[in-house]
Amino acid sequence: MVFKKGELFCGPGGLSLGAKNAQICNPETGNKLKEWRIKHKWANDFDPDSCATFRHNICGNPDDPSVHCGPVENLPIGDKSILGDIDCFSFGFPCNDYSQVGEKHGLYGKFGPLYSYGVKVLENYQPKFFVAENVGGLQNANEGQAFIQILLELQDCGYTLTPHLYKFEEYGIPQARHRIIIVGIRNDLTRQGIKFRVPAPTLTDPANYRTSYEAIMNPPIPPEAFNNEMPKHTDKVKEMLSYIPPGENAWYPCIPEHLRLKVKGAKLSSIYKRLDPSRPAYTVTGSGGGGTHMYHWEEMRALTNRERARLQTFPDDFVFTGSRESVRKQIGMAVPPQGAQIVFEAILKSFANISYDSIEPSFDTNRLKQKQK
């Protein structure tokens, strides 16, 4: 079965690349089941650079009309003559108001209510399944009520939900990135026996986690790789970095007084923080100014965008469009494609009735109504 996928808030295409690469095998022969796959149908994002990146890499056509660039409010959701019908749907709805960093307005912020457009897609298209993604902080937004409300609205569209907090380093992603992913299977299909289960982590021992060193250095990034321009720093920044050991940040006590930051308030752990090459990277982000760009464990510099893309598991031939800052933002806001692929492959196995190792989800949807009361 080929599932035609629509997507909102597509960004540069992390979720879609994971869906595109998802494949399953016959458990008896080991042969790939090519008939079980996911195919891009349409996508939307408001950022022109992200849309250009998506068209180039996911569609293979810089002018592909299936990528609709503009505010989601203007997308003709429900008009199948424009968007076409879909079998599945994905949306990484904006996390700005749910993130642990920021003002944390939740449902009452500028971006918090945008999940409702995903609900609108489900109501109008009733796809066989959907995948929704957001930051771990969603669970606590508005004292936990935001997460419950979102789950209830998705459930009321006619879906059996499996929400789980995925710790991507446990799945071979070289980054401590923790994200809530909600998988929904349409209720009539659930009644037919199709049930999604959270795929079990592939790495249970932290000693076996994939490290930032492995991701960036094995194999070395070719000099001619796209989006690999070296960042420039002042002599003062480079001197300060020389006093910061791997894994430490700008508040390391051995930094000389004249090089210390004159910053009041919380000592954010990611400010001028250098990677520890023996561990997965800390979370790649798309926001922030100087001092938040992730720093090499050995060289006196921030990472290149291609190095950041490797931590996010984008392949080297995935070309990001736009300025250096735009590319940095696109990479940081994306879903790691290899992490998404694991989830989509578990969904395909669920539909193909192929068993796989699984764990219990981190949130019990049977408690939704009770929690709401």
Please give the positions annotated as active site.
Answer: 95
Q: Crossing angle of helices 337-352/14-21, nearest 10°?
A: 40
Angle value at C-alpha 165, between 37 and 167, nearest 5 degrees: 85
Can you tell me which residue has the tokens 């800390």? Answer: 282
Three-state SS string over the chain comes to CEEEEEEECCCCCHHHHHHHHCCCECCCCCCECCCCEEEEEEEEECCHHHHHHHHHHHHCCCCCCCEEECCHHHCCCCCHHHHCCCCEEEECCCCCCCCCCCCCCHHHCCCHHHHHHHHHHHHHHCCCEEEEEEEHHHHHHHHHHHHHHHHHHHHHCCEEEEEEEEEHHHHCCCECCEEEEEEEEEHHHHHCCCCCCEECCCCCCHHHCCCHHHHHHCCCCCCCCCCCCCCCCCHHHHHHHHCCCCCCCCCCCCCCHHHCCCCCCCCCCCCCCECCCCCCECCCCCCCCCCCCCECCCCCCECCHHHHHHHCCCCCCCCCCCCHHHHHHHHHHCCCHHHHHHHHHHHHHHHHCCCCCEECCCCCHHHHHHHHC
Q: CA–CA distance from 187 to each of 38, 47, 150, 308, 351 (Å)?
A: 20, 34, 17, 39, 13
